[in-house]
Amino acid sequence: MTDPRYTPLALSLPATVPFVGPETQERARGTAFTARLGANENIFGPSPRAIEAMQTASADIWMYGDPENHELRQALAAHHDLSPDNIMVGEGIDGLLGYLVRLLISPGDTVVTSLGAYPTFNYHVSGYGGVLHTVPYKDDHEDLTSLFAKAGEVGAKLVYLANPDNPMGSWHRGADIVAALDHLPSDCLLLLDEAYVECAPKGTAAPVDANDTRLIRMRTFSKAYGMAGARVGYALAAPDLIAAFNKVRNHFGMNRAAQAGALAALQDQDWLAHVLAEITTARRRIGEIADQNGLKAQPSATNFVAIDCGQDSIFAKRVLDALIDLGIFVRMPFAAPQNRCIRISCGPSKDLEAFASALPQALISARKTQ
């Protein structure tokens, strides 16, 4: 045979990649980036205790990880003051998003998100044949009212909301999300992606009962905890929904060292506080750099800052391309009007000063080619 008999759905899917990795760009450039500021990674890194735990566990990597993620779930339950039955650990939020979409979405089912929000969620929805409806951002914020109204209008099974938002770094008060839940259609589940919530002001995390069946929240060790390469995320939801993941997940899918690292990272809240202070400093510095170049940094509750380049997406793309040529890896939002911005990860001075040095030249270059 020439081709296997793919499913009609698989045949219909494009061979898309949600993101191109910086390593791919480095290979194309033939040289490494000076600063890696494009992927919302946390350059301050994880707790030294987490690194040590992963290094110790590496020597025992001949063993499969515990498929129940028992110790980590126990620790997370204590940390969040809820039951382990409210917690599912998975291969990053990306992995958990895939499982959740698989549980809910058959071909033709409708899903709502914001235009230009997290592409990997959209990738999973398309991958299971879901039909995606979008609502625009409002003043650079995901628009709670419109999202939930659209969900009702299209009969959505699932609505996606990131709080704080990626790529803009904007946020809603958790209490406002809880209030808005009254307007969520009763047969629609809210997927609340709180990947960046540790970086946000107090009151940003949605103050909901873990057994509230109207929503599922997702958290990660990739951002504030600085372990993106480990692939550890978790979902918080009512026990029945958490248990449903056991029907489809890759039970032995977790890396054993990553399990140990996440546990140690959670137990080192002092390091988390240290990193959050560094992120605050970095956000301020990115704001200054923008100012000094006549650009406007967006307020951010995340470990990155969107900088408004003051013109359209074509201009922002020119700035981005020039930065990449100068060895600074950055990314930009995918959809208008957010794509007038470029997005800069927080990092130590060395990285930010490399960005500060490159930006004026990138702007000259971008303006020259207009």
Q: Which of residues 254-313 bind a second copy (CB under 8 A)?
A: 254-258, 261
Smallest distance, a second copy to C-beta of residue 268, A = 14
Rule CB under 8 A: choose which of 24, 83, 145, 292 binds a second copy: 24
Residue 346 · residue 43 · CB < 8 Å: yes
Between 197 and 257, whose beta carbon lies closer to a second copy?
Answer: 257
- As measured in angstroms, the least distance from the Cβ of 134 to a second copy is 20
- Is 243 a residue that touches a second copy (CB under 8 A)? yes
3 state DSSP class of 195: coil
Site for a second copy in 178-207 (CB under 8 A): 186-189
DSSP per residue, 4-21? ----HHHHHS----S---
Number of residues that bind a second copy (CB under 8 A): 91
According to the binding rule CB under 8 A, does residue 10 interact with a second copy? yes
Position 23 contacts a second copy (CB under 8 A): yes
Residues of span 107-166 touching a second copy by CB under 8 A: 109, 120, 127, 157-158
Q: Which is nearer to a second copy, 54 or 342 (CB)?
A: 54
Nearer of residues 80 and 251 to a second copy, judged by Cβ = 251
Distance CA 138, CA 141 (A): 5
Q: DSSP states of 55-84 as a string?
A: HHHHTTTTSPPPTT-HHHHHHHHHHHTS-G
Is residue 144 helix, strand or coil? helix
d(CA 221, CA 21) in angstroms, rounded, equals 19
| CB-based contact 361:326 (threshold 8 Å) | yes
Residue 242 touches a second copy, criterion: CB under 8 A: no
CA 97 to CA 38: how far, in whole Å? 22
Asked if residue 349 binds a second copy (CB under 8 A), the reply is no
Torsion region of 6: left, alpha or beta (phi above 0 gives left; psi -120 to 50 gives alpha): beta
The yes or no reply on residue 49 touching a second copy (CB under 8 A) is no
- Closest residue by Cα to residue 364 from 318, 331, 324: 318
In the list 28, 32, 67, 350, the residue contacting a second copy (rule: CB under 8 A) is 67
42 binds a second copy per the rule CB under 8 A: yes
Q: Pick from 151, 162, 227, 322 the residue near a second copy by CB under 8 A.
A: 227
Would you say 18 or 201 has its CB closer to a second copy?
18
Alpha-carbon gap, residue 237 to 351, rounded angstroms:
38
**Within 13 Å, how many C-alpha atoms sit on residue 238's CB side?**
9
Which of 137, 304 has the CB closer to a second copy?
Answer: 304
Residue of the chain from 79, 83, 203, 250 that contacts a second copy (CB under 8 A): 250
Structure tokens at 118: 């997290």
Tell me the one-letter amino acid at 122: N
Q: Is residue 167 close enough to count as binding a second copy by CB under 8 A?
A: no
- Considering only 35, 37, 57, 206, the residue that binds a second copy (CB under 8 A) is 57
Side-chain half-sphere exposure of 141, counting CA atoms within 13 A: 13
* 28 is a contact residue toward a second copy (CB under 8 A): no
